[in-house]
């Protein structure tokens, strides 16, 4: 058992080496050709791609507003439903992982338990970032009714929070995939309760 402290999300560049043995056995560039990619693994990757796409969409939208391609009312109508969809789905996805999948996966392969502890800690860090993102977004939407200067400052604040959240999310999704997808490929859906 490894008693090393959990590497913090914003400070790591990938999973620790002691947790990469399945990822080394099942390299990312070979996943799509594996017979166990369909089902749970494929669904997991699709959900993660959706979060990446939505994050990119939000970044693009804020850039469009900041560069004058969208007016404040246009941006507000466009932004709110997409942000709510992104934040709500991400929080729900993490809750299902923490409550259901991570315990099953950790039990199936005890040598990866520390990896699931890392991912669970990530979820708490990301949840805090989601709350900061929502607060900055609310302040930004409110500022759209105020002066141009106030709008610019609020847009900058929100863009900073969004960039930080997306950087953390990108690192987390990559690490989660490197831990989980090889496990699913190795064991198959049926053994993992999928």
Q: pTM for the full model? A: 0.92
Query: Considering the domain boundaries, does residue 179 fall inside one?
Result: yes
CATH number for the domain including 84? 1.20.120.520
Residue 192 has pLDDT above 60, yes or no: yes
Across the range 171-194, mean pLDDT stands at: 91
Task: Give pLDDT, residue 157.
Answer: 94
Query: Considering the domain boundaries, does residue 126 fall inside one?
Result: yes
What residue numbers bound the domain in which 124 lies? 32-187
State the total domains in the chain. Answer: 1
Query: Considering the domain boundaries, does residue 192 fall inside one?
Result: no
Query: Considering the domain boundaries, does residue 155 fall inside one?
Result: yes
Query: Considering the domain boundaries, does residue 146 fall inside one?
Result: yes
What residues contact residue 177 under an 8 Å CB cut-off, 6+ apart? 28, 44, 45, 48
Query: Considering the domain boundaries, does residue 9 fall inside one?
Result: no
Coil, helix or strand at residue 4? coil
The conformational region for residue 193 under phi > 0 = left, psi -120 to 50 = alpha, else beta, is: left
Query: Considering the domain boundaries, does residue 112 fall inside one?
Result: yes
Residue 1 has pLDDT above 60, yes or no: no
């Amino acid at each position: 058992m490894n008693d090393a402290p959990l590497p913090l999300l914003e400070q790591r560049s990938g999973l620790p080496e002691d947790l990469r043995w399945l990822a080394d056995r099942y390299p990312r560039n070979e996943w799509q050709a594996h017979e166990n990619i369909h089902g749970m693994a494929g669904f997991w990757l699709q959900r993660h791609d959706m979060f990446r796409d939505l994050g990119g969409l939000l970044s693009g939208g804020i850039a469009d507003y900041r560069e004058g391609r969208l007016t404040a009312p246009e941006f507000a109508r466009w932004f709110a439903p997409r942000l709510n969809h992104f934040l709500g789905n991400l929080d729900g996805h993490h809750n299902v992982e923490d409550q259901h999948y991570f315990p099953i996966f950790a039990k199936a392969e005890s040598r990866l338990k520390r990896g699931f502890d890392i991912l669970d800690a990530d979820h708490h860090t990301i949840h805090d970032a989601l709350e900061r993102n929502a607060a900055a977004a609310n302040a930004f939407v409110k500022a759209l009714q105020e002066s141009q200067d106030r709008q610019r400052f609020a847009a900058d604040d929100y863009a900073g929070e969004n960039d930080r959240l997306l950087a953390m999310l990108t690192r987390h999704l990559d690490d989660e995939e490197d831990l989980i997808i090889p496990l699913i490929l190795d064991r198959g859906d049926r053994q993992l309760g999928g």
